[in-house]
Copies of this chain bind each other. A is one copy, B any other.
Amino acid sequence: MQKETLCLGLLSLGPRSGYEIKQMFEGPLSDFYSLSFGTIYPTLNNLQADKYVSCKQHSQSKKPDKKVYTITKKGMELMKDNLLGDASSYIRSGNFGDQIKSEFFLLLLFSKYLPKETMNTVLNERVLYLRQKLEQFKYDGPVPGNLDAIRNEKSVSFIRGLASALIETGLNYMEKNRGKLN
């Protein structure tokens, strides 16, 4: 997905600064996508130059000015057009469309070159890590401000439910079949 469409999409949930957009990628979204500062800041500048967003500068005593961006009518239209135009190309992305970029799976592929002890530790830690991830996805308590907008989206409930189901399946499979790696 184009970085412009993504930034506009996030700004459609409410006005935000570049720093805050980065923060939005630190919740459940972080498992599916993220953008770096090096992408976010230039993108926002370009979107502003083309009037897809407007910007209000809040001067702060000693920190750099906080630049809060608001999506414009023109911006909303561009975002919707882009989403509609590219929708079909996203069908094959994700899990298991397209690619997972899983270095863990690569490690499994070459596990025969590692001591069994090492692999055992790795698999144990993987299970612990996935259990922790599962709790994160199921967690329904309060979250910091900029994550709230994401969390309240109906689609995010759907995605979190899917993620939880997938992790549970993965955990069960690992526990039942890890013996087959030896």
Contacts and interface: CB of A to CB of B under 8 A. Distances in A.
Interface of A: 1, 6, 9, 12, 29-34, 79-80, 83-84, 87-115, 118, 122, 125-126, 129-130, 133, 137, 150, 153-159, 161-163, 165-170, 172-174, 177, 180-181
A111 B108 CA distance: 36
A112 B79 contact: no
A161 B181 contact: no
Contacts of A118: 84, 87
Given A112-B154, A177-B158, A94 B103 contact: yes
Contacts of A122: 87-88, 90-91
B154 A91 contact: no
A97 B155 contact: no
B12 A113 contact: yes
Contact of A181 (B108, B154, B177): B154
Nearest to A80: B113
Given A88-B122, A96-B133, A169-B169, 12 more contacts: A32-B99, A34-B99, A79-B113, A80-B113, A80-B114, A83-B110, A87-B107, A88-B125, A91-B122, A93-B103, A97-B102, A101-B101
Contacts of A157: 180
A41 B152 CA distance: 47
A95 B95 contact: yes
Contacts of A133: 96-97
Contacts of A180: 154, 157-158
A80 B49 CA distance: 51
Contacts of A126: 91, 97
Contacts of A111: 155
